[in-house]
Amino acid sequence: MNQTAAPRILFLADAGPEVGGGHVMRCLTLARALTERGAECAFVESRAAAPILRRFGWPAQTLLAMADARDLDALIASAEDFAGRLQVDAIVIDHYGVDVRQERRLRVDGRRLTVIDDLADRHHACDLLVDPGYGRRREHYGALVAGECATMVGPSHALVRPEFAAARQRAMGRRAKHGPVRRALIALGLTDVGGVTDRVVTALSDELGDVRLDIVLGSDAPSLPALREAALTDRRLHLWVDTPEMASLMADADIAIGAGGSSVWERATVGLPSATVILAENQREMIDLMAGAGFTFAIDATQPEFEDRLRECWRALVDDQTLRWSLAERTAELCDGQGAERVAERIMGLIPKS
């Protein structure tokens, strides 16, 4: 085990064109909260995760380990190697592909293991299970984790960057003025799965009126070339590529069309009334549940009526100020943006004091 005063914590997070960058982003948020509490954090860096870590400024001086694994077996092997050589005290896994056998390989030599999950569909061998999903309860994991495993479930444990909590009061103050819709945010993930961002902007082009669209994409997004060309002739379209300003954009927006991943909790923290686009099957259950409870609109990108449903939800958000305020108040109650601090405290508490 690590004999230094500072706990060492290693992260293993999934990323790629299909899963997007949300796993890495929420691990970055947790790593920063742990660093503020005196931990030294490192990432096992896969080819897909590397650009996200660079883009969002993970400080190089605290990177204890680097790897370029192209497949899960190699990634696990890299994690084992780094964990042994660096004498880490804890490992955090945020990867749907890692199974209980691989978790057991990493949870040795007294290391504490935290798993971030939002599927509740497989067994885990961990000390702490974190699932921020709406409607999630401890009993969902009753048969999937050992009895001594601690759980932190529900949106109060969502790993939201601190700038969203910092923008919360300003954002809610703006919304309480009940003004008309002037700005809308389109943010469907940095990887822009299937070019969905261009589909959304195109479908809404005749609905915008004077509303400004702030459109967030990654530099490799398939929609970027077409939207750059469209923005040359349409002054309502404002592109934000690899922006670090998401908290300000969400706080300043009146409504949003957003992705169904972890950004749901960023929007909730600032009370942003939204329609949520389901981009992956594993998002469907929670987003449908939230829509049924009146926290958002759900729009399925795989359905043939996607564009019609999108325009219907847009009109409802633009035309109904009472609805916007109700959505703002209710979603803000779900998540206060302090989840990373809560989870970091629990992880630090798991590590024996030297």
For residue 110 the two structure tokens come to 């007294």
pLDDT at 5 over 90: no
The residues near 351 (Cβ < 8 Å, ≥ 6 apart) are 7, 89, 90, 112
What φ, ψ does residue 186 adopt, rounded to 5°? -115, 110
Report angle CA 265, 271, 274 to the nearest 5 degrees. 75
The predicted-structure confidence for 7-53, as pLDDT tens digits, reads as follows: 999 999 886 555 556 788 899 999 999 999 999 998 886 666 666 66
Structural domains of the chain, ranges and CATH numbers in brackets: 8-160+338-350 (3.40.50.11190), 162-334 (3.40.50.2000)
Quick one: pLDDT at residue 21? 66
Q: What is the pTM of this model?
A: 0.91
pLDDT score for 51: 65
Mean pLDDT of 60-77: 62
**CA gap 148, 211 in Å, rounded:** 52
11: left (phi over 0), alpha (psi -120 to 50) or beta: beta
The pLDDT > 70 percentage for the chain reads: 89
Q: Between the CA atoms of 290, 296, 301 and 307, what dihedral angle is there, to the nearest 10 degrees?
A: 150
Say which range, 38-42, 263-267, 288-292, has the weakest mean pLDDT.
Answer: 38-42
- What single string gives the DSSP state of each residue in 266-320? HHHHTT--EEEEE-SHHHHHHHHHHHHTTS-EEEETTSTTHHHHHHHHHHHHHH-
Residue-averaged pLDDT of the chain: 91
Residue 157 tokens, joined: 């444990």
* pLDDT at residue 62 is higher than 50: no
pLDDT more than 90, % of the chain: 77
